[in-house]
């Protein structure tokens, strides 16, 4: 990104766009989905997804399972759509059975036009099962579009746009794509594109039609965020060509498992109620009742220069969040955990200093041993053939 800006109407720029879009499609898990990149953030991507496929007054179904899913619903309401927001516990994944029931019960003459789903709720550290949600929509025989916020899951855990028949997926640049904030990224399927072509809401900047038209030749209908696109090209090379997406997903799983082992060894709880739904990109840790999690975040930052996530919404004083997303390795995770242990000790939140780092080391060692074992059995199998 630290390079000279090029003319965004030049052949060099068109080449850049043409390199980026196919790799973004790979990250979304789609062959034919249309990828659209905006100079925006995840919030802009929410708006882009909504205004392109919904008409004013359209009804949408959403699930309030945390700060960001509540924000997505607010965005839809603010834009003039009628939102039915199902309240869930913050710490709970979206129950597919609830999705199915809500859609089965939807007998109005103006049925839900879309279901809004946050794949990885960044405020709670809970990953919802989009495949199961898709099945629930199908089981209800409902025609609603499936709009999935993958802001904190894309490029970190599998996202199967085609297989899950997601209609619109959306993300930002600043998490799994390892870039600074500044890009809002969408993937739209054929039903969504058709909805945008034949309807949608009044829109200008977020209208994806001129972008798709100009992207075909490698250009944008406005001045794009050129430096961010250079960064995106590099990030995609690292993720898709160098490390490989499967290895990226495995690394996130390995690092997340280590963090979860540490939290357990501290005797603290993760906010995520069902370990099977634990986020691979962050862990929200609940502090004991007589403590304020804000102090943990402040102390770690001021004393050690470690950036932890604050508790969001009504979780403000109850949780701090450990991010384990993007360009990250064992060394950084262990350093983070060691500093958290010192922070907790200094704030009189009694955990055994060293217990978490040790549990994490053991988890990493076990994954490394597993890796060696599976690669040697692969070698044996290929030698036998």
* Residue ranges in contact with ligand PLP by CB under 6 A: 41-43, 68, 118, 122, 149, 151-152, 172, 181
Nearer to ligand PLP, 42 or 176 (CB): 42
Q: What is the 3 state secondary structure string of 20-59? A: HHHHHHHHHCCCCCEEEEECCCHHHHHHHHHHHHCCCCCE
The whole-angstrom separation of Cα 29 and Cα 176 is: 15
What would the DSSP string read from start to end of 310-363? PP-GGGTTTEEEEE--SS--HHHHHHHHHHHHHHHHHTT----TTHHHHHHHHH
| Region of residue 354 (phi > 0: left; psi between -120 and 50: alpha; otherwise: beta) | left
* Shortest reach from residue 122's CB to ligand PLP, in Å: 3
Q: What does the chain come to in residues?
A: 385
Nearer to ligand PLP, 149 or 167 (CB): 149
Nearer to ligand PLP, 174 or 336 (CB): 174
CB 1 within 8 A of CB 227: yes
Q: Which residue is nearest to ligand PLP (CB)?
A: 42
| Region of residue 302 (phi > 0: left; psi between -120 and 50: alpha; otherwise: beta) | alpha
* Shortest reach from residue 181's CB to ligand PLP, in Å: 6
Of 276, 270, 232, 266, the C-alpha closest to 340 is 266
Nearer to ligand PLP, 72 or 81 (CB): 72
* Shortest reach from residue 46's CB to ligand PLP, in Å: 7
Nearer to ligand PLP, 55 or 74 (CB): 74
CB 330 within 8 A of CB 255: yes
* Shortest reach from residue 241's CB to ligand PLP, in Å: 26
* Shortest reach from residue 371's CB to ligand PLP, in Å: 30
* Shortest reach from residue 149's CB to ligand PLP, in Å: 5
Nearer to ligand PLP, 95 or 182 (CB): 182
Q: What is the 3 state secondary structure string of 163-204? A: CCCCCEEEEECCCCCCCCCCCEEEEECHHHHHHHHHCCCCCC
Nearer to ligand PLP, 180 or 210 (CB): 180
* Shortest reach from residue 1's CB to ligand PLP, in Å: 18
The whole-angstrom separation of Cα 197 and Cα 335 is: 50
Bridge partner list, 85: 62
């Amino acid at each position: 990104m630290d390079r000279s800006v090029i003319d965004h109407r030049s052949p060099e720029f068109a080449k850049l766009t043409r390199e980026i879009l196919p790799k973004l499609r790979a990250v979304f898990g789609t062959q034919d989905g249309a990828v659209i990149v905006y100079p925006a953030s995840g919030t802009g991507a929410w708006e882009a997804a909504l205004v392109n496929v919904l008409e004013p007054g359209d009804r949408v179904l959403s699930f309030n399972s945390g700060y960001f899913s509540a924000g997505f619903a607010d965005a839809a309401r603010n834009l003039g759509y009628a939102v039915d927001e199902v309240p869930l516990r913050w710490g709970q994944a979206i129950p597919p059975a609830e999705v199915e029931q809500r859609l089965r019960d939807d007998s109005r003459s103006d049925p839900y036009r879309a279901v809004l789903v946050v794949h990885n709720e960044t405020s709670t550290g809970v990953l919802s099962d989009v495949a199961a949600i898709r099945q629930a929509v199908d089981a209800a025989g409902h025609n609603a579009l499936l709009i999935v916020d993958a802001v904190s899951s894309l490029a970190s855990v599998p996202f199967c746009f085609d297989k899950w028949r997601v209609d619109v997926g959306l993300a930002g640049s600043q998490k799994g794509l390892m870039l600074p904030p500044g890009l809002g990224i969408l993937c739209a399927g054929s039903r969504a594109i058709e909805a945008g072509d034949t309807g949608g809401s009044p829109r200008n900047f977020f209208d994806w039609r001129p972008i798709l038209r100009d992207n075909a030749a490698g250009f944008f209908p406005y001045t794009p965020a050129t430096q961010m696109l250079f960064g995106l090209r590099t990030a995609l090379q690292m993720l898709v060509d160098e490390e490989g997406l499967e290895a990226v997903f495995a690394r996130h799983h390995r690092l997340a498992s280590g963090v979860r082992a540490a939290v357990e060894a501290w005797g603290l709880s993760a906010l995520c109620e069902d370990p099977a739904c634990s986020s691979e990109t962050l862990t929200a840790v609940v502090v004991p009742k007589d403590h304020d999690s804000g102090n943990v975040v402040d102390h770690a930052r001021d004393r050690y220069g470690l950036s932890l996530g604050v508790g969001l919404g009504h979780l403000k004083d109850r949780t701090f969040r450990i991010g384990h997303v993007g360009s990250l390795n064992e060394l950084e995770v262990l350093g983070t955990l060691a500093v958290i242990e010192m922070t907790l000790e200094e704030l009189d939140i009694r955990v055994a200093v060293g217990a978490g780092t040790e549990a994490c080391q053991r988890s990493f060692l076990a994954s490394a041993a597993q890796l060696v074992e599976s690669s040697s059995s692969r070698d044996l199998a290929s030698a036998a053939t």
